[in-house]
A and B are shown apart, each in its own frame.
Chain A
Amino acid sequence: MTTIRALVLDDNPTDRLLLSAYLKEIFILADPAENSKVAEDLLKSESYNILFVDLEMPGYDGYSFIKKIRSQGHNQPIVITSGKRTLKDVKEGIQVGATDYIVKPIDRSVFDSKVKSLLSGQPLNQDWYEYPIPEQFENSPAQLSLNTRLLSVGEVGLSFTSSVALVPGTQVTLTSELMIQNQVGQLMVRVESCQQQGALHILRGSFVGLTETHRRQIRLLCKSLFPKSA
C-alpha cells in the first residue's frame, strides 16, 4: 500500500501535534516543520501528497512560503490552517496559491472530509443536511464571488479567467486592483462567451450599466495600455 505523506508547517508545537495526530487517524503520515526554512528543506528531499501551512509565523510567513513553492512548481494541494479568520485573510491565502483554508480551532469532521476530498480529487462528501430558506428571503438576491484574473480590457468589455464555467448571459460583478487604481469600483459584466482552456475558463464579457465617469476612466486606461493604437 502506498503511504500518503503530508507536510505540516506550523510554528506552534500543539498545532503540529494535533494536525499530525488527526492525519495519522486517516492513515496519513505527517512530517512536522516548525518554520518555512525547515519545510523548504524537507520539500527538496521528500515528496508530499498534501501540505498544511500556517500563516502567522516569525520571519518568513505562510503567504510567502506558498507563493515561493508554487513558483517552484509544487502543485500538490495546499491547505492553510490558521487562526487568522477574516475574509481578507482567506482571500489572500487563496490568491497566493492555497487550495483550501481551514480556520483554527479545527473542526475534525470538516478537516477529515476536506483532506479526503482533496487527495482523491472527488467532490466533498455532500451528506450534510440543508434547511429550506425562510419564505421572506426566498426571492432576495445573493451574490456569488469568484476568484478571477483579468486578461485584457477594452472600452466595451473585458476578458477574464474563471475556475468555473459561466453560461453566456450570466451577469457577474467584478472587482479588480487594476480597476480600483483607475477609479473604477465594481463593474457589472455580462458574460458573452466562455471557452475552456485546460483547467480554466476564458470568459469575455461586456460592461453592463457603466456610468459615464467609469467609461471615461476605462477609456483612459485603454489609452494608457495601448498608447500607439489609441
Chain B
Amino acid sequence: MKKLLDPEILESLMSVTSPSGLSVWQEISQIFISDTPKHLEKLITAHQSGDHRETGRIAHFLKSSCANVGAISVAEVLNELEMLCQAPCRFEDRDKFVLQIAEGVLQINKQINALNTGPKPGGGM
C-alpha cells in the first residue's frame, strides 16, 4: 500500500499540543476519521447531480482536511478538481478525479487507523 501520509508532517503534528492538551495529531486525525466520509459523500452527490460549483466547494474543503493530516498527494488531486470545477465541466472529466479522491480518502482513513493503533513514526507517543 502506497504511503499517503507525509512522515515529516506527521512528526510535526505529533509534537504540537492542541489547546485542549492532546497532541494535534490525535485531535486532527479523530476529526478527519469522523468528518471526512460525510464530506466525501456530499462531494459524490454534488458530482453526480452535475453541480460543478458545489463539487468545487467541497473539493476545496477536503483539500485542506487532507493536507492537514499530511496527505499532500490527495490534496493535490482535490486541488485539480477544484480548479476544473471553476467553470462548467463534463461529468467524465470530474469523474476520474472523484474516483481517485474516494480511493485516496479510504486509504488515508486506513493509514490513520493503522498509525493510531500501531507504532508511531519517530518512536514518539
Residues of chain A having any CB pair with chain B under 8 Å = 11-15, 17-18, 20-22, 24-25, 30, 56, 58, 83-85, 104-105, 108
Specify the chain A residue showing the minimal Cβ separation from B12.
A108
Q: Count of chain B residues with Cβ under 8 Å from any Cβ of A?
A: 24
Contact across chains for A30 and B19 when beta carbons are under 8 A apart: yes
- C-alpha gap A53/B68 in the complex (Å): 17
- Count of inter-chain pairs, beta carbons less than 8 A: 58
Given A17-B31, A83-B67, A105-B67, A11 and B19 touching (CB < 8 A)? no
Contact across chains for B24 and A18 when beta carbons are under 8 A apart: yes
Looking at the assembled complex, report how far the CB atom of A170 sits from the nearest CB atom of chain B, in whole angstroms: 37
Which residues on the B side are within 8 Å of A104 (C-beta)?
64, 67
Say yes or no: is B16 at the interface (Cβ < 8 Å to chain A). Answer: yes
Contact pick for A13, options B19, B31, B57, B75, CB 8 Å = B31
Which residues on the B side are within 8 Å of A13 (C-beta)?
31, 35
Jot down 20 A-B pairs with beta carbons below 8 A, ordered by A: A13-B31, A13-B35, A14-B65, A14-B68, A17-B18, A17-B24, A17-B31, A18-B28, A20-B18, A20-B19, A21-B17, A24-B18, A58-B57, A83-B63, A83-B64, A105-B9, A105-B64, A105-B72, A105-B75, A108-B12
Which residues on the A side are within 8 Å of B28 (C-beta)?
14, 17-18
Which residues on the A side are within 8 Å of B65 (C-beta)?
12, 14
Which residues on the A side are within 8 Å of B9 (C-beta)?
105
Known: A12-B68, A14-B64, A56-B57; 20 extra A-B contacts, CB below 8 A, are: A11-B61, A12-B61, A13-B31, A15-B64, A21-B18, A21-B24, A22-B16, A24-B17, A24-B19, A25-B17, A30-B19, A56-B61, A58-B57, A85-B79, A104-B64, A105-B9, A105-B68, A105-B72, A105-B75, A108-B12
> Which of A14, A18, A22, A25 gathers the greatest number of chain B CB atoms within 10 Å?
A14
Specify the chain A residue showing the minimal Cβ separation from B13.
A18
Residues of chain B having any CB pair with chain A under 8 Å = 9, 12, 16-19, 24, 27-28, 31-32, 35, 57, 60-61, 63-65, 67-69, 72, 75, 79
Q: In terms of DSSP, what is the predominant structure of the interface of chain B?
A: helix
Contact across chains for A21 and B16 when beta carbons are under 8 A apart: yes
- C-alpha gap A18/B17 in the complex (Å): 10
Which residues on the A side are within 8 Å of B72 (C-beta)?
105
- C-alpha gap A22/B12 in the complex (Å): 11
- C-alpha gap A12/B67 in the complex (Å): 12
Given A21-B24, A30-B19, A104-B64, A14 and B32 touching (CB < 8 A)? yes
- C-alpha gap A30/B18 in the complex (Å): 11
- C-alpha gap A15/B17 in the complex (Å): 14
